[in-house]
C-alpha cells in the first residue's frame, strides 16, 4: 500500500492510513458501494488540496473530494486512491449580498452564519447537513428552486483546484469554461474549495401549509398553478403510494399571510389542511426530527438505493401513475419516500444540470430504503435502472445523486449537447483523468 504513496509532500493537515478513516471513506449513505482508498487527506488548508492533487496528477492516482458522504452510489469514493475529506475546510465569511464559504461547510452552518446578519441563501435542500461542495457538484434542489433555480444557479464565483493541482478562481466572466464545468459537474474537472453564494434578506417567520388532494392529477394541477403564478415562496409535494395520499407542501414568508387568498382556488380536500407558523430556521430544518426518528429505528443506517429523476411536465402524470401502479411497499421500504417537486426550467441555468426540455418539469424521487423485510438492495438498484430507461424514453433525465448504475455511453447521452464541452474541459483541466472516478463518467 505504502509503495504507491511514497514521497508524500509536506502538508498543513494529515494523511490518514488507519482502517477507521479508510473504511469511512469507503462508505456512504447508500451503503451499497464500498471501495477503500489508499488514504484519506484531512486538509489543513486549501493549499493542501492543491498539493495533494498535484501529487496524484503526477502519479495517476485517483482522487475524490468527500463532503458528508450523503451520495448513495459510491460517488465520493476513490478505489486505490486518495479521498479528500473536505470537512476540515468549513470557514464562512458573510457580507451583505453574498457569503464566501469553504466547500466543506454544511448548509446548516452557512445558514446560522448568514442569519446572524439577517441574510439567507435563496435555496436550501430539504436536509441541511450536506456540504456546500457536495450539493454544488450536483445541483441543490429544494422548495425555493421554483423561484430562484437550484443552489448552483445562485453561485457567482468559485475557487477550485483543477485536476492538475492548479488553484484558481472562476466565474461567468473569468475562466467561464471552468466555472460551467464545475457547477453540477460531479467533481470531474476540479474540486470546489470556496464558493461565493448570493444572499437575500432573511424572512423571520414562515407559514407552512400541508394540503391533501384526492388524486395525483389534482395535486399536479395545483402545483402547476402555484409555480406559474408564484404565490408561494416554497413549493414541494409528496405521494404515499400505499394510502394513496397526495400532499402539497407550500409556504409563504409574507408577514401577514392571507390564507383565503392563497388557498381559496386550490382543489385540496377541505378540512385536510395543516397550517403551522414557524421561525424561518426551524422551517428550513424541519427534517431534523424525522432524521432523529429514522436513526433511532435503524432506518438511517439501512441501504438507500435512491432514484432521483427530472420528468417533463406534460408526461409527469401518466409516468408517475404507471410507476406507482407497479410499486409495492417492499419496493420502497419502511421509511421510503416519494417526492414530486415542480420546477421551472428557465430558472435552471447551469449548463451541466441536465433537465427535460419543457418549461414546467418535476423532480420525481423514489427514496428507497432496504429495511428489514423490504426488497434487497440489488433488486432495488435493478428497479432504478429499469425506471431510468423509461424516464429517458419520455425525455427525462437523472439527477445524479442517486443509485442508478450509469455507463460512460449513457453519461454521453445524459449530457447531450453539453458533452463536447464537458469532455473538452476534462481533457484540459484533468488530463490524467484522476478526479472523482465514482460516477464513471469517463469510464474509470
Ligand X SMILES: Cc1cc2nc3c(=O)[nH]c(=O)nc-3n(C[C@H](O)[C@H](O)[C@H](O)COP(=O)(O)OP(=O)(O)OC[C@H]3O[C@@H](n4cnc5c(N)ncnc54)[C@H](O)[C@@H]3O)c2cc1C
- Min CB(106)–ligand X separation in Å: 8
* CB under 8 A, 24+ apart: contacts of 374-378: 374/329, 374/330, 374/331, 374/332, 374/333, 374/334, 374/336, 375/330, 375/331, 375/333, 377/31, 377/32, 377/303, 377/305
* C-alpha–C-alpha distance, residues 75 and 162, integer Å: 18
Residue 361 as a binder of ligand X (CB under 6 A): the answer is no
Contact 370, 333 (CB under 8 A): yes
**Cα dihedral 237→239→245→248 (10° resolution):** 0
> By C-beta, is 161 or 241 nearer to ligand X?
161
Cell digits of residue 286:
424541519
Cα dist from 420 to 184, 198, 261, 437, whole Å: 16, 29, 48, 19
Give yes or no for residue 68 binding ligand X (CB under 6 A): yes
Interaction of residue 285 with ligand X, rule CB under 6 A: no
If one asks whether residue 333 binds ligand X (CB under 6 A), the answer comes out as no
Dihedral sign of CA atoms 86, 92, 93, 95 in order: positive
Give the residue, chosen from 131, 223, 316, 398, that forms a contact with ligand X under the rule CB under 6 A. 131
- Closest CB to ligand X among 156 and 314? 156
Q: Which segment (67-75, 199-207, 218-226, 370-378) binds ligand X by CB under 6 A? A: 67-75
Q: Say whether residue 422 binds ligand X (CB under 6 A).
A: no
Please tell me whether residue 234 binds ligand X under the rule CB under 6 A.
no
Question: Under the criterion CB under 6 A, does residue 236 sit at the interface with ligand X?
Answer: no
* DSSP character string of 171-223: ESSSSHHHHHHHTTSTTSSEEEEEEEEE-EEPPSEEEEEEEEESSHHHHHHHH
Position among 61, 111, 155, 186 found at the interface with ligand X (CB under 6 A): 186
How far does Cα 169 stand from its chain's mean position?
23
Segment interacting with ligand X, rule: CB under 6 A, options 13-21, 62-70, 213-221, 387-395? 62-70
CA 68 to each of CA 34, 71, 128, 157: distance values in angstroms, whole numbers, following the listed order:
16, 8, 11, 22
86 binds ligand X (CB under 6 A): yes
Out of 15, 38, 51, 137, point to the residue binding ligand X (CB under 6 A).
137
187 sits near ligand X (criterion: CB under 6 A): yes
- Work out which of 25, 32, 110, 138 binds ligand X, going by CB under 6 A: 138
Site for ligand X in 166-185 (CB under 6 A): none
Contact between 307 and ligand X by CB under 6 A: the answer reads: no
CA distance 373 to 221: 36
Among 11, 25, 52, 76, binds ligand X (CB under 6 A): 76
Using rule CB under 6 A, residue 158 touches ligand X = no
Residue 133 has φ and ψ, to the nearest 5°, of: -65, -40
Taking phi over 0 as left and psi of -120 to 50 as alpha, with beta for the rest, 208 belongs to: beta
Q: Is 155 in the site for ligand X (CB under 6 A)?
A: no
Return the SS3 of 265.
coil
Determine which residue in the list 401, 410, 422, 425 makes contact with ligand X, applying CB under 6 A.
401
Least distance (Å) from ligand X to the CB of residue 97?
Answer: 23
**Does residue 70 touch ligand X according to CB under 6 A?**
yes
- Print the binding letters for residues 91-130 with ligand X: x by CB under 6 A, - otherwise: ------------x---------------------xxx--x
Element holding 249 (H helix, E strand): strand 245-252
Task: Please say which residue, 46 or 320, places its beta carbon nearer to ligand X.
Answer: 46
Under the rule (CB under 6 A), what is the footprint of ligand X? 28-29, 64-71, 75-76, 86, 103, 125-127, 130-131, 133-135, 137-142, 186-187, 191-192, 401, 436, 438
Amino acid at each position: 500500500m505504502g509503495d504507491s504513496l511514497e514521497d508524500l509532500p509536506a502538508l498543513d493537515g494529515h494523511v490518514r492510513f488507519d482502517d477507521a478513516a479508510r473504511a469511512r471513506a469507503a462508505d456512504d449513505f447508500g451503503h451499497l458501494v464500498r471501495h477503500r482508498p489508499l488514504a484519506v487527506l484531512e486538509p489543513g488548508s486549501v493549499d493542501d488540496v492543491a498539493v495533494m492533487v498535484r501529487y496524484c496528477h503526477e502519479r495517476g492516482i485517483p482522487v475524490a473530494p468527500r463532503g458528508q458522504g450523503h451520495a448513495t452510489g459510491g460517488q465520493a469514493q476513490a478505489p486505490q486512491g486518495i479521498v479528500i475529506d473536505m470537512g476540515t475546510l468549513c470557514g464562512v465569511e458573510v457580507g451583505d449580498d453574498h457569503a464566501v464559504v469553504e466547500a466543506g461547510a454544511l448548509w446548516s452552518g452557512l445558514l446560522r452564519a448568514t442569519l446572524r446578519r439577517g441574510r439567507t441563501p435563496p435555496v436550501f435542500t430539504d436536509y441541511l447537513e450536506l456540504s456546500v461542495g457536495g450539493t454544488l457538484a450536483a445541483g441543490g434542489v429544494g422548495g425555493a428552486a421554483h423561484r430562484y433555480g437550484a443552489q448552483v444557479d445562485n453561485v457567482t464565483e468559485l475557487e477550485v483546484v483543477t485536476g492538475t493541482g492548479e488553484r484558481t478562481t472562476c466565474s461567468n466572466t473569468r475562466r467561464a469554461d471552468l466555472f460551467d464545468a464545475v457547477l453540477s459537474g460531479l467533481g470531474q474537472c476540479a474540486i470546489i474549495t470556496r464558493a461565493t453564494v448570493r444572499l437575500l434578506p432573511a424572512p423571520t417567520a414562515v407559514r407552512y401549509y400541508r394540503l391533501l388532494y384526492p388524486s395525483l392529477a389534482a395535486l399536479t394541477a395545483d402545483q402547476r398553478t402555484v409555480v406559474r403564478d408564484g404565490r408561494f415562496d416554497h413549493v414541494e409535494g409528496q405521494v404515499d403510494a400505499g394510502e394513496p395520499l397526495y400532499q402539497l407542501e407550500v409556504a409563504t414568508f409574507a408577514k401577514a399571510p392571507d390564507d383565503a387568498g392563497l388557498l381559496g382556488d386550490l382543489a385540496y380536500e377541505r378540512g385536510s389542511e395543516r397550517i403551522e407558523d414557524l421561525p424561518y430556521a426551524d422551517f428550513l430544518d424541519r427534517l431534523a426530527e424525522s432524521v432523529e426518528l429514522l436513526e433511532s429505528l435503524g432506518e438511517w443506517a439501512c441501504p438507500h438505493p435512491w432514484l432521483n429523476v427530472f420528468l417533463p411536465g406534460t408526461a409527469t402524470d401518466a409516468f408517475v401513475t404507471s410507476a406507482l401502479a407497479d410499486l409495492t411497499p417492499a419496493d420502497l421500504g419502511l421509511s421510503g419516500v416519494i417526492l414530486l417537486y415542480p420546477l421551472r426550467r428557465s430558472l435552471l441555468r447551469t449548463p451541466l444540470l441536465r433537465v427535460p426540455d419543457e418549461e414546467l418539469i418535476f423532480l420525481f424521487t423514489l427514496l428507497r430504503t432496504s429495511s428489514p423485510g423490504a426488497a434487497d438492495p440489488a433488486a432495488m438498484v435493478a428497479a432504478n435502472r429499469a425506471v431510468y430507461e423509461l424516464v429517458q424514453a419520455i425525455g427525462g433525465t437523472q439527477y445524479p445523486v442517486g443509485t442508478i448504475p450509469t455507463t460512460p455511453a449513457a453519461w454521453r447521452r445524459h449530457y447531450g449537447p453539453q458533452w463536447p464541452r464537458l469532455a473538452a474541459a476534462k481533457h484540459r483541466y484533468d488530463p490524467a483523468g484522476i478526479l472523482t472516478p465514482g460516477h464513471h463518467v469517463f469510464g474509470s
